[in-house]
Amino acid sequence: MTTQPTQSPWLPFGTADHADIRLLCLPHSGAGASAYRAWGAGLPDWIGLCPLQPPGRETRRHEAPLSEAGPLVAALAEDVATAVRAPYAVLGHSTGAIAAFELCRRLRRIGAPEPAHLFVAGRRAPQIAERSSRLGELTIEELADVLRRHGGTPDWVLDDPGMLRMLHPLLTADFAVSEAYAYTPEPPLDIPITAFAATDDPRAGVAQLAAWQAQTTGTFTLHELPGDHFAVLAHADRVHAAVAAALRGV
């Protein structure tokens, strides 16, 4: 997979100008752009994978993480508008899903080229309020318990208090992006939305993912995946097939 260099810190792996269409991917809480590198290896060559790097992690670890969706997408939208060639699509998982949604709305407001498709997973529709995990008030031991219930965090991290202390500010900020998010009604997007719903995700059930349909005037598709909050990552082949089918011919 070849990529084009970019000066944007949001696009550490380039803009995939070689591809017919680009897929911008926003990660879940605590994760960085590298979370999608191995996951996206099975995508067809005509889809260019472009993992996005929010502040506070990996190549941007010395920057303060953002705890609100508004400032995050305002900064990201400027780079997408100038650095990413259309056509492109956006995919977001968990906290990344609400950021992806608000990115689409921000791009519409500033008159920039909009994505051809929005893919979301692991996050209830924006008009449905999220529950608060109150991570900022937890001890390190309590944080480990919360992350263990969510799934997706390696045991070696959960068993390392030093690592958890280092991750605590980032996780608190990331969770706040989703959990403190206040939905502001706007007209639905004019782009298709595809939602991936995990059958055993207590934070974002199938009905809550189906509610994303209200956010588009275009086609809405719901795919159910067996598993927990991270089913969209665990079932990469199925997700890739659905993404390719949705983007073919764009």
> What positions carry a catalytic annotation?
94
Q: Give dist(CA 35, CA 56) in Å, integer.
A: 14
Per the CB < 8 A criterion, the answer to whether 158 and 168 are in contact is no
CB neighbours of 137 closer than 8 A, spacing ≥ 6? none
Q: Work out whether the CA dihedral 73, 172, 31, 4 comes out positive or negative.
A: positive
Q: Give dist(CA 144, CA 156) in Å, integer.
A: 11
**Helical (H) or strand (E) element with 26:** strand 21-26
Rg of the chain on CA atoms, in Å:
17
CB neighbours of 54 closer than 8 A, spacing ≥ 6? 10, 26, 27, 32, 60, 65, 66, 72, 76, 99, 174
189: which DSSP letter? Answer: B
Give alpha helix (H) positions in the chain: 69-83, 95-109, 140-150, 155-158, 161-179, 206-210, 231-234, 236-247
Q: Any idea which residue has 């995919």 for tokens? A: 91
Burial class (CB in 10 A: 0-12, 13-18, 19+), 187: exposed
